């Protein structure tokens, strides 16, 4: 018997706290009364999938026709009319006929209630619709883009932003977000680098799990929880040449060491769905990769949710060249483990005939439908298909003052100060609040749409604070002049003269440079990661004119960007450089808070900044090679025409104060591979202002049976310190942190010496050592072999 329900006549009565939608459950009664005698399907019991959810899925599945089953595996985009997302007449008919189980991009409490009502009251089985949308970094209150969020090194902030997005999205009737995007990206040309946490598997894993927790909360059935999708499974960020949708030429080892950890972390955090990726690995597109979707995801990681295709990913098996027709594409995808098809309709259009002709097993259709139904049940959709969405809730939740305040706070934490030179006896930043005049130069300064970045949900540019607006508010007594400079997509330079003039007439100059919000994101790869258009020329003209007049006034560069940009000239020739990414609706306010010193910057780079596109891919956790770069030895791993070092390393970021590290201690110098240890370090605010430092710990297994990266992040902590204050920061290292994949791909801790480095970036030099003694400790057996 279901918890909280008991049958009475042909209805179910609620006996516990769960409110059941009675029209909806009516048709399940017949099946439910058999439940007591039925064996419960042998599935992993995770917090996501309760026995109750399984029983609901069992009972509904029994009642379904093949067409209805395929309907549950089908998701389609909503239609649009002048008033916003809707469902057209054909779609409505399909809902009634039970031929559609899910929509994407259908939202708004009133709209959603209308169509959900048709599903649960007018379709034969009353199965509720599942409604998804790309709520990536906010629904209406837009937060920093995920790459910027990663720059906070603050998992609580990531969880908080995801929770706030869930509050707004669920008020608008959504159940499901296609986030977090957890693809590791080490090629800045790839436009979708903006959607993830950057280059590092450890930081990526922490951020992935935090977002899952933020979206889904403790209880998926809560009306304020939204189902998460971990995407794009897998290794999509390794696209060859940085070109979107391209093949990913990696080894199994790279897959497991670099690309899979954030996916595994998100699965273990209880994520309800995964999305397959567009790319292929070793000749197998993810949408047909049963090894990845079934052997690794379901069996090795015990994932109990369901897998959705990425848009027309099932259909794309044809252009990939592994399916000659749509029926084959559908069979291959569902067989591999893609449970729900988004947007293309191959499952619905071809699989009934395939099953009837005996070319595809009904059992595989059934298990996919079961997975979809039990996630719907876990969301509480069979209890309340509307999940409390209402116009009232929308009014209360959307863009409320507390949400904007959170967006501003988190946006401040995302800003990374790359350089800050001393000008006239003081650092160029923060700007004095007594500044008489400031020239703001660059078209992006006035571009509130760009502050939202890519995938900005229902964010509106009218709600977003541009850099210029933020500065005008923060510096009411400063005369601020604005010169647009040059456009971003052309080499027109006619605006340079005006910008030079404005710079000459002001006491300080702020160059706002970088990319428009749509220059990164899906299908927005760039072959060059230098400043687009004639922006470099603009910056050079301004700086040269200012210096030619003998002035030492500060010329500060602020970047707006969705990827690392190669800016060696700016770094060398301006007084300060700050990275502001795309910070969301509070961009201008948050940036102004930092520029005027209301708060010290505390962001750190989640991705290496190269000197030039030619260095890409470049990342801190590289291998040493047999011939590590050596300036005095020609035959070592380097370039003739560029240094081998990055412009700014991973983890770098300055503050308005300074931090000193010392007194590093390891709790045990010798330990067994199954033991844990603590590494501690004293962090002191050695400057004159309060500030927050991200203390980082890097680790290396000095000599192992397979080559290891030169160092790998294994811990970080944000530490707020008053001037002169010292705090001892402790990092716990567990066997899992010391482990690696050996030659058999077992996860092991090997005996030998390890080095730890502690400091404020991946270039940290303060080090200590410990030794693992005894036998090899096996933490996990080798994954199934890729077929
Ligand atoms: C394609 C994108 O790759 C994916 O990230 C997104 O979630 C879907 N479209 C749905 O919009």
Q: Is any ligand 1 atom within 6 A of the Cβ of residue 404?
A: no
CA distances from 491 to 166, 186, 486, 502 (A): 42, 29, 8, 21
* Res. 335: pLDDT tops 90: yes
Residue with the smallest CA separation from ligand 1 atom 4 is 310
Looking at residue 5, its pLDDT comes to: 32
Sorting pLDDT into bands at 50, 70 and 90, what band is 530?
A: very high
CB of 233 within 6 A of ligand 1: the answer is no
DSSP symbols for 718-744: EEEE-TT-EEEEEEEE-HHHH-EE-TT
- Provide the percentage of residues in the chain whose pLDDT is more than 90: 92
For residue 654, is pLDDT > 70?
A: yes
| Amino acid 39: pLDDT | 29
Per residue in 69-127, pLDDT (tens digit) is 999 999 999 998 888 899 998 999 999 999 999 999 999 999 999 999 999 999 999 99
User: Quick one: which atom of ligand 1 is closest to the CA of 342?
Assistant: 10
Q: How does pLDDT run across 676-689, given as a tens digit for each residue? A: 999 999 999 999 99
Per-residue confidence (pLDDT) for residue 378, from 0 to 100:
97
Task: Write down the pLDDT at residue 551.
Answer: 86
pTM: 0.95
Quick: pLDDT tens for 251-264.
999 999 999 999 99
pLDDT of residue 549: 83
Residue 514, Ramachandran bin (φ over 0: left; ψ between -120 and 50: alpha; else beta): left
Angle at 364 between CA 331 and CA 68, to 5 degrees: 90
pLDDT band at 146 (very low <50, low <70, confident <90, very high): very high
455 Cβ below 6 A of ligand 1: no
- Report the distance separating Cα 220 and Cα 269, nearest Å: 12
Stretch 379-406: mean pLDDT, rounded?
Answer: 98
Contact partners, residue 468, CB within 8 Å, separation at least 6: 440, 445, 446, 480, 482, 588
Instruction: Say how many Å lie between the CA of residue 232 and the centre of ligand 1.
Output: 9
Query: What does the pLDDT average to over 451-464?
Result: 98
pLDDT at 47: 58
Residue 501, helix vs strand vs coil: helix
316 lines ligand 1 (CB under 6 A): no
Whose structure tokens read 């709600």?
463
Percentage of residues in the chain having pLDDT higher than 70? 94
pLDDT in tens, 700-737: 999 999 999 999 999 999 999 999 999 999 999 999 99
Which sign, positive or negative, has the C-alpha torsion 331, 333, 334, 335?
positive
What distance in Å separates the CA atoms of residue 335 and residue 363, rounded to the nearest whole number? 10
What are residue 701's DSSP bridge partners?
754
pLDDT of 536 higher than 70? yes
Question: pLDDT value at position 4?
Answer: 32
**Ligand 1 probe mutation, 227, 311, 458, 523, most atoms within 8 A of CB:** 311
Q: 76-92: per-residue pLDDT in tens?
A: 999 988 888 999 989 99
C-alpha to C-alpha distance for 179 and 629, rounded to whole angstroms: 39
Query: What does the block give as tokens for 777?
Result: 């400790």
Indicate whether residue 231 lines ligand 1 (CB < 6 A).
yes
SS3 514: strand
* Ligand 1: centre distance to CA 150 (Å): 20
Residue 311 CA to ligand 1 center (angstroms) comes to 6
DSSP letter (8 states) at residue 775 = S
| 310 touches ligand 1 (CB under 6 Å) | yes
Question: What's the 297 CA to ligand 1 centre distance in angstroms?
Answer: 20
Q: Which two tokens stand for residue 575?
A: 């007084």
Question: 729: closest CA among 700, 756, 748, 752?
Answer: 756
C-alpha distance from residue 649 to each of 41, 359, 411, 514 (Å): 51, 54, 21, 19
The answer to whether 621 touches 434, Cβ cutoff 8 Å, is no
- Say which residues have a Cβ less than 8 Å from residue 77's Cβ, sequence separation at least 6: 103, 104, 105, 343
pLDDT at 18 over 60: no
**CB 471 within 8 Å of CB 482:** no
Considering the candidates 134, 310, 701, 737, report the single residue annotated as catalytic: 310
pLDDT at 10 over 60: no
Task: State both tokens at 113.
Answer: 């209630």
Cβ–ligand 1 contact at 176 (below 6 Å): no
* CB contact set of 237 (below 8 Å; sequence gap of 6+): 183, 184, 185, 186, 187, 190, 192, 193, 196, 259
Token pair for 389: 């969405």
**How is the beta sheet containing 102-104 ordered, strand by strand?**
176-177, 130-133, 102-104, 74-77, 341-342
Q: Which residue has the least CA distance to atom 9 on ligand 1?
A: 311
Q: Which of 171, 230, 208, 181 is nearest to 458 (CA)?
A: 171
- CA pair distance 183, 259, nearest whole angstrom: 7
Least confidently predicted of 57-66, 258-267, 546-555, 717-726: 546-555
Task: Give the chain's end-to-end CA distance (angstroms, integer).
Answer: 43
Q: What φ, ψ does residue 30 adopt, rounded to 5°?
A: -55, -45
- Write down the mean pLDDT value for the chain: 94
Res 786 pLDDT > 70: yes
Separation of alpha carbons 100 and 90, rounded Å: 11
Whether residue 543 is predicted with pLDDT greater than 70 in this model: the reply is yes
Among 178, 274, 454, residue to substitute to test ligand 1 (most atoms within 8 Å of Cβ): 178
Cβ contact 193:526 at 8 Å:
no
The mean pLDDT of 403-419, rounded to a whole number, is: 98
Ligand 1 centroid to 76 CA: how many Å?
Answer: 12
Residue 309 Cα, ligand 1 centroid: separation in angstroms?
Answer: 9
Alpha carbon nearest to ligand 1 atom 2, residue: 310
- Whether 566 and 520 have beta carbons less than 8 Å apart is answered as no
DSSP state of 566: -
H or E, element range at 84: strand 84-86
Closest ligand 1 atom to residue 278 Cα is: 3
Instruction: Assess whether 295 carries a catalytic annotation.
Output: no
Is pLDDT at 495 greater than 90 in this prediction? yes
Query: 335 is written with which tokens?
Result: 């067989």
Instruction: Indicate whether residue 178 lines ligand 1 (CB < 6 A).
Output: yes
Ligand 1 atom nearest to 181, measured from its CA: 5
**Residues in the chain, how many?**
787
The alpha carbon of 4 and the centre of ligand 1 are apart by a number of angstroms equal to 38
Helix (H, G, I), strand (E, B) or coil at 186: coil
Average pLDDT over residues 552-575: 98
For 19-58, what is each residue's pLDDT tens digit?
Answer: 344 444 444 433 333 332 232 233 333 457 899 999 999 9
pLDDT of residue 84: 87
Three-state secondary structure string covering 610-673: CCCHHHCCCCCCCECCCCCCCCCCCCCCCCCCCCCCCCECCCCCECCCCEEEEEEEECCCEEEC
What is the radius of gyration, based on Cα positions, of the chain? 27
**Is the CB of residue 507 below 6 angstroms from any atom belonging to ligand 1?**
no
Rounded-to-integer distance, Cα 521 and Cα 247, Å = 18
Block residue for tokens 């948050």 = 590
What are the tens digits of pLDDT across the range 571-601?
999 999 999 999 999 999 999 999 999 999 9
Mean pLDDT to the nearest integer, 733-753 = 98
pLDDT score of 374: 97
- Whole-angstrom distance, CA of residue 186 vs CA of residue 612: 14
pLDDT at 430: 98
Predicted local distance difference test score (pLDDT) of residue 787: 66
Residue 7: closest CA among 505, 493, 26, 576: 26
């Amino acid at each position: 018997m279901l918890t909280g329900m008991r049958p009475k006549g042909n209805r179910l009565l609620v006996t516990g706290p769960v409110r059941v939608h009675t029209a909806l459950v009516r048709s399940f009664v017949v099946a439910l009364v058999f439940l007591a005698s039925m064996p419960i399907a042998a599935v992993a019991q995770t917090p996501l999938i309760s026995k109750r959810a399984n029983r609901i899925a069992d009972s509904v599945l029994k009642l379904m026709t093949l067409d209805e089953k395929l309907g549950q595996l089908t998701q389609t985009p909503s239609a649009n009319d002048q008033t916003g997302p809707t469902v057209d007449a054909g779609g409505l008919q399909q809902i009634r006929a039970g031929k559609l189980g899910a929509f994407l991009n259908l939202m708004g409490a009133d709209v959603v209630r209308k169509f959900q009502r048709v599903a649960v009251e007018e379709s034969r089985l009353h199965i509720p619709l599942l409604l998804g949308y790309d709520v990536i970094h906010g629904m209406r209150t837009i937060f920093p883009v995920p790459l910027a969020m990663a720059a906070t090194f603050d998992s609580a902030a990531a969880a908080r932003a995801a929770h706030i997005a869930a509050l707004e999205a669920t008020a608008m009737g959504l159940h499901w977000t296609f986030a977090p995007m957890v693809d590791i990206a080490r090629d800045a040309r790839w436009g979708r680098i903006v959607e993830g946490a950057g280059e590092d598997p450890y930081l990526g894993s922490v951020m992935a799990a935090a977002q899952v927790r933020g979206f889904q909360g403790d209880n998926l059935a809560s009306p304020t929880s939204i189902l998460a999708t971990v995407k794009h499974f897998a290794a999509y960020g390794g696209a060859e040449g940085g070109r979107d949708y391209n093949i990913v030429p990696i080894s199994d080892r790279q897959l497991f060491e670099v690309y899979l950890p954030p996916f595994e972390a998100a699965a273990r955090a209880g994520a309800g769905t995964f999305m397959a990726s567009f790319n292929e690995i070793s000749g197998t597109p993810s949408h047909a990769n049963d090894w990845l979707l079934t052997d690794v995801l379901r069996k090795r990681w015990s994932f109990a949710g369901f897998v959705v295709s990425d848009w027309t990913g099932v259909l794309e098996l044809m252009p990939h060249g592994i399916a000659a027709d749509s029926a084959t594409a559908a069979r291959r995808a569902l067989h591999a483990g893609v449970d729900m098809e988004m947007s293309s309709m191959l499952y619905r259009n071809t699989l009934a005939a395939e099953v009837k002709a005996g070319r595809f097993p009904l059992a595989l259709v059934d298990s996919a439908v079961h997975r979809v139904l039990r996630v719907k049940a876990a969301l509480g959709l069979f209890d309340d298909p509307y999940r409390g969405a209402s116009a009232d809730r929308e009014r209360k939740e959307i863009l409320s003052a507390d949400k904007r305040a959170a967006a501003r706070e988190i946006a401040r934490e995302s800003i990374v100060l790359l350089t800050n030179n001393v000008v006239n006896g003081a650092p160029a930043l923060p700007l004095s609040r007594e500044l008489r005049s400031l020239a703001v130069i660059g078209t992006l300064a006035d571009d509130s749409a760009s502050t939202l970045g890519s995938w900005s949900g229902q964010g509106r540019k009218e709600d977003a604070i541009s850099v210029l607006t933020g500065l005008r508010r923060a510096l009411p007594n400063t005369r601020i002049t604005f010169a647009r400079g040059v456009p971003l997509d052309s080499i027109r330079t006619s605006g340079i003269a005006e910008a030079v003039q404005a710079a000459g007439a002001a006491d300080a100059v702020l160059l706002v440079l970088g990319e428009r919000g749509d220059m990164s994101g899906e299908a927005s790869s760039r072959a060059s990661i230098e400043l687009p258009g004639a922006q470099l020329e603009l910056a050079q003209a301004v700086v040269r004119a200012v210096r030619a007049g003998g002035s030492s006034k500060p010329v500060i560069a602020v970047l707006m960007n969705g990827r690392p940009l190669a800016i060696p000239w700016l770094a060398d020739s301006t007084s300060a450089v700050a990275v502001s990414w795309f910070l969301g609706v509070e961009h201008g306010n948050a940036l102004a808070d930092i520029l005027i010193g209301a708060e010290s910057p505390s962001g750190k780079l989640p991705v290496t900044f190269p000197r030039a596109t030619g260095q890409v891919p470049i990342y801190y956790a590289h291998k040493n090679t047999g011939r590590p770069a050596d300036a005095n030895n020609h035959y070592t791993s380097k370039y003739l025409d560029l240094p081998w070092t990055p412009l700014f390393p991973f983890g770098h970021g300055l503050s308005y104060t300074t931090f000193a590290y010392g007194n590093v201690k390891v709790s045990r110098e010798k330990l067994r591979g199954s033991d844990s240890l603590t590494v501690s370090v004293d962090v002191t605010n050695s400057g004159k202002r309060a500030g927050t430092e991200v203390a980082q710990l890097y680790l290396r297994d000095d000599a192992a049976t397979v080559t290891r990266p030169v160092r790998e992040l294994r811990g970080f902590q944000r530490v707020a310190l008053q001037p002169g204050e010292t705090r001892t920061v402790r990092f716990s290292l567990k066997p899992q942190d010391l482990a690696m994949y050996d030659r058999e791909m077992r996860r092991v801790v090997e005996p030998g010496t390890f080095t730890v480095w502690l400091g404020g970036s991946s270039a940290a030099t303060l080090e200590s050592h410990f030794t693992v003694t005894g036998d090899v400790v096996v933490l996990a057996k080798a994954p199934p072999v890729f077929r």
